[in-house]
Structure 1
Amino acid sequence: MDHGEGLNTLGKKLAATRRRLTLLALGRAWWPAFVFIALFLAVALAGGFDRLSSFLAAAILPALMITALGLSWLSWRRYRSPSEADVVRALDRQSELRPVTSLTDRPADPAAGPASLWRAHRERLISEIGNLRLPRLKSEWAALDPYRLRYIVPVGVVALALVAGAAGPGRIGRALSPDLGALVGADKMIVEAWVTPPEHTGRAPIFLQADMKNVRVPVGSEITLRTQAPSAPKLILRGDRRKAERFSRTPEGAYEARARIEEDTRLTVNWWGERARWNFTILPDEVPLIAFDTLPEPGQRDQVTFKWKAGDDYGVTAVELAIRLRVPHPAAPDAEDRVPVPMPGAPGAKELAATAQLDLTRHRWVGLPVDLRLVARDGAGQEGFSEPVPFILPEKLFLDPLARAAQEARVTVLREPRPYAEVPKNEQAISDGAINTAATGRLDAAPDGVRQAALMLDAVTYRGEMFINDLGAFMGLRMALGTLQSAGTKQEADAVEPLLWSIALKLEHGSVADARARLEAARAALERALRDGASEEEIRRLMEAFRDAANEYLAAKMAEAMAGGLDGPAQQEDGQAQAGGDSLGGQDFEDMLNALQDLTETGAEEQARQLLSDITNMLENLEFQRGEGQGDGLPGEQAEGEEGDLPPEEQELTDAMRRLSEILREQRQLNDDTLAQQRGEQPGQMGEQPGEGSEQGEGGDMEGQGTGEGQEPGEDGGGAQEGEGEPGEGRGGTLAERQAELGRLVEELARRGGDSGGQGEEGGGTPGDGVDEDTLRGILDAQRRAERALEGGNEGRAVIDQERATQMLSELSREMANQIDQMRANRLGEQGQNSNDPLGRPLTGAGNDGQGIEIPSESERQRAKDILDELRRRYGEAEDEEEREYLRRLLERF
């Protein structure tokens, strides 16, 4: 081996020896820390720390960290890096020549002879270096690690890592970062959270659980979080941007926070670490859809009639009709008016379809071509539009010239979109003789439409006291002119609209128009309160206002009829007319109003609104018949002087219907008394019982018999006074006896109908053609079952059978009324008379007399009241909060 190669080999062996000695030195110094860390990893990979409680894991970690740091510090202090002498010594001790050390020697005599000997000696040393082996340090390692833990521990850690698999890193991470908040009790902190979707969605609240990582909620949902903690936790929302806020303290000592979810959001609650976390995904809220089902067209009384349909994923809350001029005014090209469209049922239905009838005759653009489109709005405020439809708004027909002038001036003001011009400021206002321009000459600053309307009113009322007969209308027109002359803004000028409209109606229609306007206003207010869920006190007040307006309208109609030559209504003993109280086309008007009030009190909004509409339509279609003698002029009734002129079949059917009406009234009274006895109350004694109060003919004939209420013209008015008796008994005996008497009267009515018609066997005839004998048989069967139930003391079963009998009696009465109307229409047609009034409305029939209006029975209304009272009682007594919340929602829906 040459000299260079030998030195190179020596360098490699020195470096390798240094590494081995360094590893031995590290083992001697760091073996306690190495073993400690390896054991920690082994326990963590085995899941040992996961089995500890949060408090214990958090408490152990600081001790482990301190121990690891202490051992590391001691190891670092103990560590000594191997020196050059240690490395040389480890190699030299393998040979007596000590080749590594000897190579560093130098000859003492540089002479030629000794030099040659030195060279030979170096060659021998280099040759010896080739024979050197790296030190194995076996004895040193045996003394340091007799159990070979330096191999066992790493192998064990690797084996546990392979067993743990993918869970290994997580276990180590949890072991290194335990819940330190457990040291202060944060691990026992419970976060209660729930999401309340927007009310318009109709979705139930979502109570969040810890395992619910991804929750889908409607946009705009509100999340409420509540917890108990020593201090306020922190709420963090991460969406498009980060938002953080502190919980607020409640009066109960808890902490609460609220947040609204408007986008995809990650929510966390932090208090000494993360205590809760949820991810929220927003559910889309679609824009509502709406369209015309049929195109708008003029309807009765100049109303705009059309069918529409709408839909929304969460429900439609409002529907409006948007109106735009087809040729807009240059000063207001985007002007648009919106008119609310009544919705069927309660707002919030997902699918809607209805027929709308809107009175737009008071709109400012009547008679002009416009574009109509429907607007549907959902609970989130989103609006959907239909396609525009061209239309001409119908205009109310005014035949009176002065009424037309008032209407023309009115719309001229309303159609003006421009504001008043700016009045120049008078700089000399404080000087002597200056004119206050702000108080004078306002009409000169008005837009053209206002000035034109003022000129029209001035021309119409010029010396009007000489040719205008209605001084009230004249003064009203002059007041409107004065308002326009003194107005300083467009809003002040528009204040003449109601005055001019009322003047035009009064000149055209008289006082009935005022009463009708009050009736419509009361109806609209009551319907709006029912739709919007107003308070009970507000609905009660509006119900009283509607009752008063209905009575005033009836009084105005009767006054108008009497002024036109029609006979007045029959008078009661106290001198009050019966038109609004007892009889309207076979229906008890007061019962209608009472039923409407009961429906509003029990929360039956849909039925109440339907009955409200039916009553209003009945009143608006009310027509008085021209009679002679003692006729009362009410619709659907004949004056006494006309009855003798009726054909025999019509007369017989009319008499049968009167008897059936008395039986129906008594059956309803018996139903109410049975229900009262079932509740443990004393049955009311209203009116006289069938078969009493007048002399009865053979077979219990009820002709000529009255009850004292709803007396028909020409009937015997000899009704008896109300009787008194023990509970369940009246002048007709017990409830069972009264029911048996009613059954006998129905049999008598059937027998009379059969005898007069010449059809059927005993009890099988019907009063008039077209009435199936099965109807009377069904009534008799129901009455007999009710009689047997009353005899057995089963009032509940009796009430069911009585209601069935009442319903069948009502249906039979309506069929007979329709037959009478048909006979009368045919008779008038044969006589060449027109059965319609000048406006095309039928003089008689269901449209005028209220036939077909469904009124809930007293028992149905009472059951609804009982249910409502029971819900209120349970709500007041409930102690559980969830039960109280459930009952509260029931009461709101009820």
Structure 2
Amino acid sequence: MREPDTNLDLSALKWPARLTLAGLWAERVTYAFWPFWTALFLSVVAFVLVGAMSVGLPVLGLIAVTCASGLLASLVYAWRKFQMPRWGDALDRIDRTMPGRPVTAAMDHQALGAGDDASKAIWLAHKARMQARLGEAKAVAPDLRVSKQDPYALRYVALLLLVVTLGSGSLWRSGPLDDLAARGLGRAVAAGPAWEVWIEPPSYTGKPSLYLNDVKVSELTVPKGSDLTVRLYGQVGSLTLSETVSGVPNVEGEAPKTAFTKVIQQDGVIRIEGDDIAEWQITAQSDAPPTVSAVGEVSRKLDGEMELPFSASDDYGVERGTATVSLDLASVDRRYGLVVAPEPREDIVLDLPMPIAGDRDSFDERLIENLSEHPWSGLPVTIALSVTDIADQASSNTVVSTELPGRRFFQPIAKALVEQRRDLLWSRANAKRIGQVLRTITYDPEGFFSSELAYLTVRMAITRLELATRFGISDEKQAEVADMLWQAATLLEDGRLSDALERLQRAQDRLSDAMKDGATNEEIAELMQELSEAMQQYMEQLAQEGQNDEGQQQAQGEQQEVTEDQLQQMLDEIQRLMEEGKMAEAQALLDQLMEMMKNMDVAQGEGGEGQQSPGQQAMEGLQDSLREQQGLSDDAFRDLQEQFNPNAQTGESEGNEGRNGGQGRGQSHEGESGEQGGEQDGQQGQGNQQPQGGDENRSLADRQQDLRDELERQQRSLPGKGTPEGDAAREALDRAGEAMDRAEQALRDDQTAEALGAQSDAMEALREGMRSLSEAMAQEQRDGAQEQGRPQGQASRQNRDPLGREQGSNGAIGSDEQMLQGEDAQRRSRELLDEIRRRSGEQGRPEVERDYLKRLLDQF
């Protein structure tokens, strides 16, 4: 290699190269001599083991030859493998780890362009940069891993054996192992205790074990059931155990033992007798059973939940608890539907809540459960509280007599429906009477049923109940009818705006009475919560019925807007005044709040009666279909009754009032025959019978087919497509259509009972579809309310009319002309928007027109 064409300055590589060279020495020695070290360690271990055992000369010679051969082979391997590292090797290793190979570049010379000044200048600049990079050089760590040469890690095995040998001391005092073991055992026996005694309490107590060898007292108190373990050492029979804590008498003549395991069951003495005497007085402490008690009366929360505060304790902690609710039949007022004997019903078993954090030695908790839908709701019951500890010891029952709390119903029809539901669940013997009462309730629904869906639900429940009464009421049918009556009652109680306003007024009255009677802070908090929920429900009903300015939940009073936050602030202020005893000021503020709510009702309730939205039209159409399906089901049921009473005239079966009235009128169930029956009442009363099945069933089947076609037409125009609620409504209507098809086929085959079942399924599916459609409409209203609440910065696009023109103040378009005159402005704008949406969805219109309509929707 020629000399470099510039002066070298390798001073920066001095220490990095020295350290790297030392690492190279360690690396190459390790690679070459690891077999020698392994053989050497194994030879030392073999020497120690041979010295500790009595072996013959042939075996000793074989071991010596093997060790010598291994050492010689490892030295030969090291001689061939080892290469002495040099200074240049260290520089080369450093150079390979740096970018640009600066060491090589610093010692290089210019090969081309030596006579060109420009090329020489570039070369000198490159050399200077490489020279500067040498200052960044660092030592390279050696690679001491030899796992590829030693895949089985024999070097570590040899090292481990050597460490164990050195640690045991065998290297310094090697000798026969039998002598070593004998000497060690003798010293251990001489130095160890003559006996050992342990007492281990049960794990659930959490108490530590006792080692009686270290206990300095002779009187101990331990939990009953603790384990006693005794070990006796030395010559067998020199020490004996005498104890009276286990309650098991000693057997005379039993062979001496050195190990004992007992269970401490009673007070007594533990004695070690013999050369070393020890004695302990033991007191066995019994585990006390847990206790539980009610610390307050059973109360009813706002939503009908039962709340029962209780307290429980145990010396080692309560594990679990139950509350068993049983009917107090002796205290029941046995009137009306409760006169008959009740059907057997299992007790209600509730799990008592346990503390999640902390100990369970003593705690207070509250049992909260909603049993509003249980048949015993509102009836006298007994609640037996019981807790169990971890030792399965049960407490004595604490019985609380009370009336089982449940939801309160204030709407008269809802209260009647809940009562009939209770009577049906009390005993199926009340089914006939319940059917009569329900028919009376639904005879003239005008003015009594505020919800048409609730009325149709009750009518369907009547049909199913009467059909089940004839064929036998199963448990499933009993529960199904009871569930329908509960749904109808809740719809009547909570389903309309007037009910929400009535609840709001009732909450105000209760709060006013509490002000006069001096209620406690807890009662005030509960009443304020009830008032807040009533206000929220009232405003939600306004939004659902489209009467609160496109879903915005805000009240408009005297030229100002009041938001929900401001209403909540007023409620908080009323509560604060009441808690401070300023009842007059609180009453004045409450009156002001209720006046604002009433003004909101007046302002929102004066909307005009314009064109209905597609959702409302679809809902009304489905209600008509459900009503028509109910009528078909009633007619089919009457036909089935007449089939079981063939001697009666048409319409004269027991309990059959026919379409137009009471029993014995002789009117048929179809339109034409019904008119004839009305004209020939006397003739049919003489015994002329209406033909069964046949033509009449085919007429019902035709009506069922027409209703199926109408439902299919309604499905095509159902709104809410693409939303979860809208898709659920469509699936429910598909099931209703399939049930109608089955009902039609059954009617044509004169299988009236099967037709009734299919019609019942169709009505249930229709009700579910209407419910999903209602949720879809409510979701659209909520989305509209969110759109109204978008930031001001997003309002610029919406501040345009349907033609994209900018609106001025108060709806003006660049002039003094008011475009939003009249109180029907919002209604007319909604009609226009609905018409644009309808036209944009018609695929038959030209593409240009539909694009224009979509642009209008994006801007408006």
The TM-score normalised by the length of structure 1 is 0.28
The TM-score normalised by the length of structure 2 is 0.29
